[in-house]
C-alpha cells in the first residue's frame, strides 16, 4: 500500500525543466534523477548517451533502457514601463530516449541509441508585445546513433559512434511591430522545414583506477543543421507593391553545439554511490539566426544571438535501499549561454538550478521501472534583446522574465 | 528504511506543490500593486470630443481606428491601476469606413496609400469593400467613447443631435445618430446618464478647423453670440466658446468626477497645411525668365492702361509695380487670387512666406500653371505683339491679364485667415486652461505637443515621429487626423498630465507598437 502511495505521489508530482539554450538535458531517468550525472556511472543502457565507453562494462548480455519525459515549462514576461505582460502557453514537450546494447564479446559491446537532446517549444500569445521576435517556435531534433564500446583493459575502455540527426523547425513571428492588413491583422511569417538531416559523432573513454572509482570523459560533436528549401509563408500582408512579401522558400542553419563531459563516480559503500559531472556546451558557435529568403525582393532576416560557451555542474547520489528500491537525488547548476542584451523570447533561458530525484523499482531481476523528476528554478531576470532594428535603429525588447519547468519522467530498464 | 521513504515522499509532495505557473515578484495583473490610480477614480471613464476622440483617421471612422483611439488606449492603461468598467465603443461595422444612410452612401471610405505602376504613392479611397455601416442601425449603449466626428463645442449639448431625421438638413450628426440613446437626446445627456467617475474632454477643434480646411471660405463669427446661425465652416465666437465650454465642464464635474481637458492644436501645424509648400513652383532658368517677362509685360500694360485713362504716370507706375513679379531659377512662391481692391485692382499677388496651401490642392493643375500663369495661344499672341513693340488694345490687355492663374481662396490660407484662426485658437485655449485651473482638472497642451511634432519631431524607440505627410508617422492620410502612433503620443501626454494632477502612476504605452498609415492597392 505504501509503495503504491509512493508511486502515485511520484507520478502526480509535476516535475520540471531544461538546460540552457535549446538543449534539453533529459537523456535517461536514472541519470537525470542523479542530477543528470553519468559520464562515469556504469549502471544501465543509458550509458549509450552519457558515455558509450562504459557499455562494455555492463554485466548483462543485452541491456535496454527506454523512457520519456513530459516537460511542463512556461515563461512569464512583464514590462513595467508600459504595463505589458504575457505568459507562454507552451505545449508539453515529450523528449524520449531508447538505448540498446549487446555484448558481442568480452571486449566488445555494440549498441544503438535514439534520443532528443535538442528541442524547444515555446508559444506566446499571438500578436503579444514581442511578436516581432517570436509568436511561437517548435524545434525538434532526433539523434540516432550506432555505437561500439571497446574494453582495452579492466581499467580502460573507449566507445563512440556516428550520429544521424533528423530535425524539424516551425517558427512564426510578425514581420515587425506594426505592419498589418486593412483589417488590422498583423503581417507575419511562418518558416517551416522538416526532414532536415545532418551527421555527427560522439566518443568517450572510461578509466577505472580502483574498483570503487570511475573517471569518464565524453565528447559529442557539433552538428550544424542546414534547412534548405523550407517553406516561408507570409500572412496578412497588405496588398501593396511596397510590401512584396510573397510566399517563398528559405535556407537557414541552426547549430546543435558540441558538448564535452568529464566526471567521476565513487562507490562509498554497497549502498551509496556519488557522482560528479562537468559539462561544457560549446554554444559559441551560435552567432546568429539568419533566414535567407529565396525571393530576392524579401530582405533576409538576420537575428544576432552571440551565445557563449556554457558550463553545467552536476552532482548526484544513489542509495540502494533494498533489492526492490533504489533512490536517487541530484542537483545541477546550468549556466545560460545567452549573453545580456541577447535575451530573445524564443529561448528565454537564464541560469537554472536543477533539483532532481527519482527511484527505480525492480519488478523482477530483469526489469525495472525508473522514474525521475526535475524541478528547474530560475531567478526573475530583467533582460532585453537589443538587436531588433527598425529603420536602422536598434529597438530593444525588454522586461522581466521568470520561468519555471517541471519534468516528470518514466522509463524502463531491461537486461538479460 | 521506512524513514527514508517518508522523507522522499514529503520531498516529492513539496515539489508537487510548487506552482506550474511562473510567478513574478510584482506582477502587474495584481491591480493596484504596481500602478496606482492616485486620487483619480477611473471606475467609469467617459471620453467626450469630436473625430479625434472617436479615433477618426484617413478621412473616415473604422474599427481599427476606433480600437487605437486615445480614449481606448487610456482605458487600457487605467485598468492596470484599479478595477474598471469595460470601456465600450460604438464600433463601426467594418474597416472600410464609409457611412450609409438607409442604404445610400453619405461619406467616403477611408484613404489608403496606393502605389501606381511607376512606383508613385498617393492617398486613394479604399475600394476593397463597400461600406456596410448604416446609420439607421442604432447601436445599444451606453458607450464610453462618446467622441462624435464633426462635433463643435456647442453641439454637445444640442438635443436631437442624434436624430436620423435631422441628418439631411444638417441638424444632426450621422455618427451620433448611430449610438444616441434616443433621437431627442444630446451627447452630454448620454454621457451624464453613465455617471462618469472620470472624463476626458477634447472639443473645440472644429470650431476653427472647418474654417481652416475650407481655406477660410467660411465666416469669422467673432461678435456673433448666436451659434444657431453659424455655418459649418465658420469660426466660433470666443465668448460663445467660453460659455459653452465652462458649461460642459460644470456639468461633467457636478458629481465630483475628475477629468482631463485637452486644448486645441494650432491647425497651421498639421500636415494638411504643410505638405504642399507655398514655394513649390520650381522653375528652370528659362521658364523663370519667361514668367518674369510675362509679369513685367502685365505690369507695363496695366500702367499704360491706367495712364491712358488719365492716371498720372508716377501713380500708375506705383500701382502697377506690384505686378512686376520676378521669378528665379529654383523654387518660387505661387500666385494667389485675392479680392479686387483699389490697391490691388487686378486681384492677384504672390504668396507671402507664412501663407499656406492645403493638402488637397489639385497637384496636376499646379504642374500645368495653376498658381502661376496659364499661357494660352491667345496670351502668347499678345506677348508676341508686345515683343514686337506693338501696343495692345484694351481687349488684348485683358487677354494678357487673364493669363494670370492664381490659386483659389479655398486652396489657400492667407495671412489674414491664419491670424483669425490663431486668434480664435489662442482665445479657446485660454478658456480651456482657465477652466481646468478653476476646477482642478488635468490639462493637456495638445497645441504645444503637436507643434513639437511639427518642429523637430517626437523621438521614440524606433525613430522620430514628424508631421510630414504620409511618411512622418503622426498624421493619417487626411493630413488632419492622427495615426494610431500619433494618438498614442497624445495618450501618453494625457497620462503624464493625469499623473501629475492626481498623483497616479498610470503607465504610458509604447509608441513604437502603434502603426501609422495603411498601404493598399485596393483602390480604383
Tens-digit pLDDT profile for residues B380-404:
899 889 888 888 888 999 999 999 9
- Chain A, 366 to 405: residues with Cβ < 8 Å from chain B are 373, 375, 378, 380, 390-391, 393, 395-396, 400, 402-404
The answer to whether the Cβ–Cβ distance between A184 and B67 falls below 8 Å is yes
**Which string of DSSP letters, residue by residue, matches B303-328?**
HHHHHHTT--HHHHHHHHGGG-----
Domain B45-273+416-513 fold is Rossmann fold (3.40.50)
In chain A, which residue's Cα lies nearest the Cα of B508?
Answer: A82
Assign residue A188 the CATH number of its domain: 2.40.160.60
A184 touches chain B (CB under 8 A): yes
> Distance (Å, rounded) from C-alpha B417 to C-alpha A288?
58
Query: Residue ranges of chain A with pLDDT lower than 70?
Result: 1-20
Classify strands A96-103 and A108-123 as parallel, antiparallel or unpaired.
Answer: antiparallel
pLDDT at A17: 34
Quote the crossing angle between the two packed helices B2-17 and A2-12, to the nearest 10°: 30
pLDDT at A22: 87
Where b means 16+ CB within 10 Å and e means fewer, A279-306 reads: bbbbbbebeebbbbbeeeebeebebbbe
How far is the alpha carbon of B89 from chain A, nearest alpha carbon, in Å? Answer: 17
Q: Outline where DSSP puts E strands in A288-396.
A: 288-293, 301-304, 310-320, 325-334, 352-362, 367-378, 381-385, 389-390, 393-394
pLDDT at B11: 54
Total domain count for chain A? 1
Q: How many CB atoms lie within 10 A of CB B461?
A: 16
pLDDT at A12: 32
Quote the crossing angle between the two packed helices B313-320 and B285-308, to the nearest 10°: 150
Q: Dump pLDDT digits (tens) for B418-435.
A: 999 999 999 999 999 999
How far is the alpha carbon of B385 from chain A, nearest alpha carbon, in Å? Answer: 52
> Distance (Å, rounded) from C-alpha B408 to C-alpha B175?
31
Q: Dump pLDDT digits (tens) for A148-170.
A: 999 999 999 999 999 999 999 99
> Distance (Å, rounded) from C-alpha A366 to C-alpha A362?
8
ipTM value for the complex: 0.90
Name the residue range of residue A242's domain: 2-415
The answer to whether the Cβ–Cβ distance between B462 and A129 falls below 8 Å is no
* Beta carbons within 8 Å of B235's beta carbon, 6+ residues apart: B207, B208, B211, B218, B219, B220, B221, B222, B420, B421, B424
Nearest to B115 among A6, A241, A406 (CB): A241
DSSP A93: B
Q: Mapping DSSP to helix (H, G, I), strand (E, B) and coil, where does residue A262 land?
A: strand
Structural domain boundaries of chain B?
45-273+416-513, 281-412
**Chain A residues with CB-CB distance to B514 below 8 A:** 178
The answer to whether the Cβ–Cβ distance between A182 and B126 falls below 8 Å is yes
pLDDT at B73: 98
The answer to whether the Cβ–Cβ distance between A15 and B24 falls below 8 Å is no
Give the pLDDT means over successive 10-residue stretches in chain B (524 positions): 54 54 90 93 98 98 98 98 98 98 96 93 96 97 97 97 94 97 97 98 96 93 95 96 98 97 93 93 93 93 91 93 95 94 94 94 90 90 88 90 93 94 97 98 98 95 94 96 98 98 98 97 94
**Chain A residues with CB-CB distance to B14 below 8 A:** none
pLDDT at A3: 42
In chain B, which residue's Cα lies nearest the Cα of A89?
Answer: B21
* Interchain CB contacts (distance < 8 Å): A and B: 154
Please give the torsion angle defined by the CA atoms of residues B218, B222, B226 and B229, in that order, rounded to the nearest 10 degrees.
-10
Distance of CA B158 to the CA centre of its chain: 23
pLDDT at B199: 98
A355 touches chain B (CB under 8 A): yes
Please give the torsion angle defined by the CA atoms of residues B299, B302, B307 and B311, in that order, rounded to the nearest 10 degrees.
-90
Nearest to A78 among B20, B28, B64 (CB): B28
Amino acid at each position: 500500500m505504501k509503495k503504491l502511495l509512493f508511486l502515485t505521489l511520484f507520478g502526480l508530482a509535476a516535475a520540471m525543466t531544461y538546460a540552457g539554450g535549446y538543449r534539453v538535458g533529459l537523456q535517461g531517468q536514472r541519470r537525470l534523477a542523479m542530477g543528470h550525472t553519468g559520464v562515469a556511472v556504469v549502471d544501465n543502457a543509458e550509458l549509450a548517451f552519457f558515455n558509450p565507453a562504459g557499455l562494455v562494462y555492463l554485466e548483462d548480455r543485452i541491456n535496454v533502457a527506454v523512457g520519456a519525459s513530459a516537460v511542463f515549462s512556461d515563461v512569464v514576461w512583464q514590462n513595467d514601463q508600459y504595463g505589458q505582460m504575457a505568459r507562454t502557453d507552451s505545449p508539453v514537450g515529450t523528449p524520449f530516449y531508447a538505448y540498446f546494447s549487446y555484448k558481442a564479446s568480452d571486449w566488445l559491446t555494440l549498441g544503438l541509441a535514439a534520443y532528443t537532446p535538442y528541442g524547444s517549444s515555446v508559444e506566446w500569445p499571438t500578436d503579444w508585445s514581442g511578436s516581432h521576435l517570436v509568436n511561437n517556435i517548435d524545434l525538434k531534433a532526433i539523434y540516432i546513433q550506432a555505437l561500439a564500446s571497446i574494453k582495452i583493459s579492466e581499467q580502460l575502455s573507449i566507445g563512440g559512434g556516428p550520429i544521424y540527426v533528423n530535425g524539424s523547425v516551425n517558427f512564426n513571428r510578425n514581420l515587425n511591430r506594426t505592419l498589418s492588413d486593412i483589417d488590422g491583422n498583423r503581417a507575419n511569417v511562418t518558416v517551416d522545414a522538416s526532414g532536415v538531416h545532418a551527421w555527427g559523432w560522439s566518443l568517450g573513454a572510461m578509466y577505472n583506477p580502483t574498483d570503487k572509482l570511475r573517471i569518464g570523459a565524453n565528447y559529442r560533436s557539433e552538428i550544424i543543421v542546414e534547412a534548405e528549401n523550407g517553406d516561408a509563408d507570409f500572412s496578412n500582408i497588405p496588398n501593396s507593391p511596397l510590401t512584396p512579401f510573397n510566399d517563398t522558400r528559405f535556407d537557414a542553419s541552426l547549430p546543435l553545439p558540441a558538448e564535452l563531459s568529464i566526471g567521476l563516480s565513487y562507490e562509498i559503500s554497497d549502498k551509496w554511490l556519488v557522482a560528479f559531472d562537468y559539462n561544457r556546451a560549446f554554444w559559441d558557435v551560435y552567432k546568429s539566426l539568419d533566414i535567407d529568403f529565396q525571393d530576392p525582393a524579401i530582405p533576409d532576416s538576420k537575428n544576432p544571438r552571440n551565445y557563449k560557451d556554457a558550463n553545467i555542474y552536476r552532482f548526484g547520489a544513489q542509495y540502494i535501499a533494498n533489492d526492490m528500491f533504489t533512490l536517487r537525488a541530484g542537483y545541477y547548476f546550468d549556466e545560460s549561454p545567452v549573453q545580456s542584451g541577447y535575451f530573445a523570447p524564443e529561448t528565454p533561458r537564464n541560469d537554472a538550478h536543477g533539483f532532481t530525484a527519482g527511484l527505480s523499482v525492480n519488478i523482477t531481476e530483469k526489469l525495472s521501472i525508473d522514474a525521475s523528476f526535475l524541478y528547474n528554478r530560475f531567478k526573475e531576470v530583467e533582460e532585453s534583446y537589443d538587436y531588433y532594428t527598425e529603420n536602422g535603429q536598434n529597438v530593444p525588447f525588454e522586461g522581466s522574465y521568470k520561468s519555471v519547468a517541471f519534468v516528470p519522467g518514466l522509463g524502463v530498464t531491461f537486461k538479460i | 528504511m521506512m524513514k527514508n521513504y517518508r522523507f522522499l515522499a514529503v520531498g516529492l509532495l513539496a515539489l508537487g506543490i510548487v506552482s506550474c505557473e511562473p510567478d513574478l515578484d510584482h506582477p502587474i495583473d495584481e491591480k493596484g500593486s504596481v500602478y496606482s490610480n492616485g486620487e483619480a477614480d477611473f471606475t467609469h471613464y467617459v471620453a467626450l470630443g469630436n473625430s479625434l476622440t472617436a479615433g477618426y483617421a484617413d478621412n473616415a471612422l473604422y474599427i481599427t481606428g476606433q480600437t487605437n483611439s486615445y480614449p481606448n488606449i487610456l482605458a487600457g492603461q487605467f485598468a492596470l491601476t484599479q478595477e474598471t468598467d469595460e470601456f465600450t465603443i460604438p464600433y463601426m461595422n467594418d474597416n472600410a469606413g464609409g457611412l450609409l444612410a438607409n442604404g445610400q452612401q453619405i461619406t467616403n471610405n477611408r484613404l489608403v496609400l496606393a502605389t501606381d505602376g511607376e512606383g508613385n504613392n498617393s492617398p486613394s479611397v479604399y475600394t476593397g469593400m463597400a461600406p456596410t455601416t448604416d446609420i439607421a442601425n442604432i447601436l445599444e449603449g451606453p458607450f464610453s467613447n462618446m467622441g462624435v466626428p464633426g462635433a463643435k463645442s456647442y453641439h454637445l449639448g444640442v438635443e436631437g443631435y442624434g436624430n436620423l431625421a435631422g441628418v439631411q438638413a444638417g441638424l444632426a450628426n450621422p455618427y451620433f445618430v448611430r449610438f444616441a440613446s434616443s433621437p431627442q437626446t444630446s451627447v452630454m445627456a448620454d454621457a451624464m446618464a453613465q455617471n462618469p467617475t472620470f472624463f476626458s474632454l477634447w472639443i473645440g477643434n472644429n470650431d476653427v478647423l472647418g474654417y481652416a480646411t475650407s481655406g477660410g471660405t467660411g465666416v469669422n463669427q467673432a461678435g456673433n453670440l448666436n451659434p444657431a446661425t453659424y455655418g459649418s465652416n465658420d469660426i466660433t465666437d470666443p465668448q460663445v466658446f467660453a460659455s459653452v465650454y465652462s458649461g460642459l465642464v460644470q456639468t461633467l464635474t457636478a458629481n465630483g468626477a475628475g477629468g482631463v481637458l485637452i486644448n486645441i492644436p494650432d491647425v497651421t501645424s498639421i500636415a494638411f497645411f504643410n505638405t504642399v509648400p507655398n514655394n513649390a513652383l520650381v522653375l528652370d532658368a528659362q521658364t523663370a525668365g519667361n514668367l518674369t517677362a510675362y509679369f513685367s509685360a502685365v505690369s507695363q500694360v496695366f500702367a499704360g492702361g491706367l495712364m491712358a485713362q488719365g492716371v498720372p504716370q508716377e501713380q500708375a507706375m506705383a500701382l502697377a509695380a506690384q505686378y512686376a513679379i520676378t521669378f528665379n531659377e529654383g523654387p518660387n512662391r505661387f500666385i494667389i487670387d485675392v479680392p479686387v481692391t483699389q490697391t490691388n485692382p487686378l486681384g492677384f499677388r504672390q504668396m507671402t512666406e507664412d501663407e499656406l496651401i492645403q493638402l488637397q490642392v489639385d497637384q496636376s493643375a499646379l504642374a500645368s500653371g495653376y498658381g502661376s500663369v496659364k499661357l494660352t495661344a491667345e496670351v502668347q499672341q499678345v506677348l508676341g505683339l508686345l515683343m514686337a513693340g506693338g501696343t495692345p488694345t484694351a481687349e488684348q490687355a485683358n487677354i494678357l491679364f487673364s493669363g494670370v492663374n492664381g490659386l483659389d481662396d479655398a486652396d489657400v490660407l492667407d495671412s489674414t485667415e491664419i491670424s483669425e484662426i490663431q486668434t480664435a485658437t489662442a482665445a479657446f485655449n485660454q478658456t480651456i486652461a482657465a477652466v481646468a485651473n478653476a476646477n482642478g482638472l488635468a490639462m493637456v497642451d495638445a497645441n504645444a505637443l503637436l507643434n513639437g511634432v511639427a518642429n523637430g519631431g517626437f523621438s521614440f524607440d524606433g525613430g522620430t515621429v514628424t508631421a510630414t505627410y504620409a511618411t512622418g508617422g503622426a498624421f493619417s492620410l487626411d493630413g488632419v487626423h492622427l495615426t494610431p502612433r500619433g494618438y498614442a503620443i497624445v495618450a501618453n501626454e494625457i497620462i503624464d498630465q493625469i499623473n501629475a494632477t492626481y498623483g497616479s502612476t498610470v503607465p504610458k504605452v509604447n509608441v513604437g507598437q502603434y502603426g501609422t498609415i495603411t498601404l493598399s492597392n485596393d483602390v480604383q
